[in-house]
Amino acid sequence: MTADTLPIEIQQTTSPRLSEVDFTNLVFGRNISDHMFVAEYRDGQWQNLRIIPYADMALSPATAALHYGQAIFEGMKAYKNEAGEVLTFRPRDNWARFNRSAERMCMPTVPEEIFMSGLNELLRLDAGWVPSQPGSSLYIRPYMFASDAYLGVRPSDSYIFIIFTGPVGNYYANPPKVKVETEYIRAAEGGVGAAKCAGNYAASLYPTRLAQQQGYDQLIWTDARDHAFIEESGTMNVMFVIDGKLITPAVSDTILDGITRRSIVEIARHWGVPVEERRVAIKEVIDAIKEGRLEAAFGAGTAVVVSPFAVIGYEGTNYELPAIKEDSFVSRVKDFLTDIRTGKTEDVFGWTQKIQ
Ligand SMILES: *Cc1c(COP(=O)(O)O)cnc(C)c1O
């Protein structure tokens, strides 16, 4: 089945909301575009593919996802190039990861044609919602949840897959202060840390709130066994520049395989910057800070792109990190990624896709 033959019914909104949006002051997650793509899985098949006006849905109070958490999501972004064309960034990687999450949660996979055609048609229809201001983009949220109205604990028979979008600005206004968490955990070996499943984020809220009460913005998670190795930070992978090398925890079943992380690793290799993907001990990072060998510690993810940390708190001590210089790896990689995504620089990796 090709994109042209996939039957997607399109119902356009009669009350567009685009003119109500203040594009000069975009707050992450507040504005949602006019339309959404919806597909339903029933009787072993994806069906009823449609684009409809973004609106509330009626669900049974017994909807399985609301009770037992069979729910997964993705996060990706679209940008406008100078010609006003809409570009997506590595969407196939998001699709592939979505299906890995689906398998871990006993959910059906979404065929590439459905994911890509739904995305393409939706972005074509809501292209006017893609911002062109520097630092802004259209955030894209594909997700799926179990929709059986049934209270037994078992994989649902029916599912709903939706994509909606919304224009966003920068995620953090200021470089975040992060606390190394040594009591609570995000993921354990054999668990679901590598899946982008809803429950992982619910579980992170309480420890994050405790850290915020102590004056931090976000956590750095450590391994469940010893709390000695660095894993992730919120919805970001964590990377360090130490002794001129890019060092980042290797992906595992407790660390999400981030597409921003992967892209930065590939760019670093392309530039000839040494890269180490391995376990990273907190002690190694703290020692490097104390000895002045740490150039930067930063989070990497679709929402933030690249977010250098201002402070790392560990066992009650706050370590101030050096300011990021304009010619540093972090600044250069952030600009380069942004330039590829917005079509300003040649996409030597073939990562961007134009919406046709
Ligand atoms: C989404 C996410 C990331 C970042 O992945 P990207 O593909 O770069 O957006 C990292 N860690 C967690 C826990 C995430 O949910």
Mean pLDDT of 175-189: 97
Measured CA to CA, the distance from residue 146 to residue 84 in angstroms comes to: 37
Find the 62 Cα to ligand 1 centroid distance in Å.
30
Ligand 1 atom having least distance to the Cα of 234:
13
DSSP secondary structure letters along 119-186: HHHHHHHTGGGS--STT-EEEEEEEEEE--B--SSS--S-EEEEEEEEEE--S-SSPPEEEE-SSS-S
User: In the predicted model, what is the mean pLDDT of residues 190-211?
Assistant: 97
Q: Ligand 1 centroid vs 122 CA: distance in angstroms?
A: 23
What number does the ligand 1 atom closest to the CA of 186 have? 13
Q: Report in angstroms the alpha-carbon separations of 30 from 21, 23, 26, 139.
A: 10, 12, 8, 11
CB 324 within 8 A of CB 309: no
**Is the domain 177-341 a CATH 1.10.1740.10 member?**
no
Q: Is residue 292's pLDDT more than 80?
A: yes
C-alpha 339/C-alpha 332 separation (Å) is 10
Query: What is the chain's mean pLDDT, rounded?
Result: 96
Report the amino acid identity of residue 106: C
Exposed (0-12), middle (13-18) or buried (19+): which is 65, by Cβ within 10 Å? buried
Q: Residue ranges of the domains in the chain?
A: 9-168, 177-341
Residue 351: which of 76, 52, 93 has the closest Cα? 93
Identity (one letter) of the amino acid at 311? Answer: V
At a CB cut-off of 8 Å and minimum separation 6, what does 345 contact? 336, 339
pLDDT reported for residue 170: 76
Separation of 204 CA from ligand 1 center, angstroms? 14
CA 262–ligand 1 middle distance (angstroms): 11
* pLDDT attached to residue 172: 64
Q: What is the largest CA-CA distance in the chain?
A: 62
Position 57 pLDDT exceeds 90: yes
Q: What is the pLDDT of residues 82-132, one digit of tens each?
A: 999 999 999 999 999 999 999 999 999 999 999 999 999 999 999 999 999
Return the amino acid letter for 244. G
Return the pLDDT at 29.
Answer: 87
Task: Report the pLDDT averaged over residues 320-331.
Answer: 95
Structure tokens given for 210: 């405790």
Q: How confident is the model at residue 1 (pLDDT cuts 50, 70, 90)?
A: very low
Q: For the CA atoms of 237, 329, 182, 320, what is the dihedral angle to 10 degrees?
A: -140
Residues with CB under 6 A from ligand 1: 75, 196, 232, 235-237, 256, 258-261, 301-302
User: Is it the case that residue 2 has pLDDT exceeding 60?
Assistant: no
Q: Whose CA is nearest to atom 13 of ligand 1?
A: 235
Class of domain 9-168: alpha beta
* 215-268 pLDDT per residue, tens: 999 999 999 999 999 999 989 999 999 999 999 999 999 999 999 999 999 999
The Å distance, Cα 323 to ligand 1 centre, comes to 25
Grade residue 4 by pLDDT with cuts at 50, 70 and 90: low
pLDDT in tens, 32-42: 999 999 999 99
Q: Whose CA is nearest to atom 10 of ligand 1?
A: 236
Q: In which band, very low, low, confident or very high, does the pLDDT at 174 lie, cut at 50, 70 and 90?
A: confident
- Distance in angstroms (rounded) separating the CA atoms of residues 144 and 162: 6
d(CA 114, CA 117) in angstroms, rounded, equals 5
pLDDT for 222 equals 98
Task: Report the percent of the chain where pLDDT is more than 70.
Answer: 98
The atom number, within ligand 1, closest to the CA of 300 reads 8
Residue whose CA lies nearest to ligand 1 atom number 2: 235
